[in-house]
Amino acid sequence: MRFSLAVWVFVLLAGSFGVSQAAATHARQDGNFAQLSADRTSPDIGQWLSEKVVVRHVHHAAIIGRFASSVIARTSVLAQRLTKSALRFLGVPYVFGGTTSEGFDCSGYVQHVFAMHGIHVPRTADAQFYAGRRVKQLRPGDLVFFQTYEEGPSHVGIYLGHGRFVHASSSRGVMISNLSDAYWANRYLGAKNLIR
């Protein structure tokens, strides 16, 4: 069924491409779009050319737009699932090098939450920073990075929205903090995305 549908779409597109190519070739030979008459082309092509309407592949743009919208919707759903999963671990204690619900460090926590959704991320905060794509506008599910105890990205959290992020704090375990808090604002390096 899919194969016959694909063949039908190909034939339809190839046919319309051939008609428009023939009309365009004919128009170039005459040197003037308005000189084409309806008797030499189909009425619709004659009408398009007489009005010098530029035919755009709007149907392609619409298909691409729908595809992009569905990708964004799936990404948004994944981001919602990630943030929901991340909040399940609130209160889990901090353990340096920890990667399980018995105890997490910041990057182990991020790695664990993403792995719950089949997304592989590197183990350390700096490797996660360099693996992601920089974002200009924060969205839930983005990773936020900070320079804390050493030069470069040394702490990471998952952005929840509204200026808040969840992370494994060395002093309080998995918790929610605000990016505008003085401590975090002064150490903020930027945000990266691993799911778009």
Strands (E), the chain: 99-100, 103-104, 133-134, 143-146, 155-161, 164-169, 173-178, 188-193
Set 59, 120, 155, 162: catalytic member? 155
Residue 137 CB: number of other CB atoms within 10 A?
6
Stretch (H or E) spanning 47: helix 43-50
Set 26, 117, 120, 167: catalytic member? 167
Task: Look up 106 and say whether it is catalytic.
Answer: yes
Residue 159 CB: number of other CB atoms within 10 A?
25
| CA-based end-to-end distance of the chain | 32
Measured CA to CA in angstroms, residue 167 lies from 15, 55, 139 at distances of 57, 52, 16
Task: Look up 155 and say whether it is catalytic.
Answer: yes
Set 26, 59, 60, 106: catalytic member? 106
Could you tell me which of 153, 123, 157, 130 has the C-alpha nearest to residue 143? 157
Catalytically annotated residues: 106, 155, 167
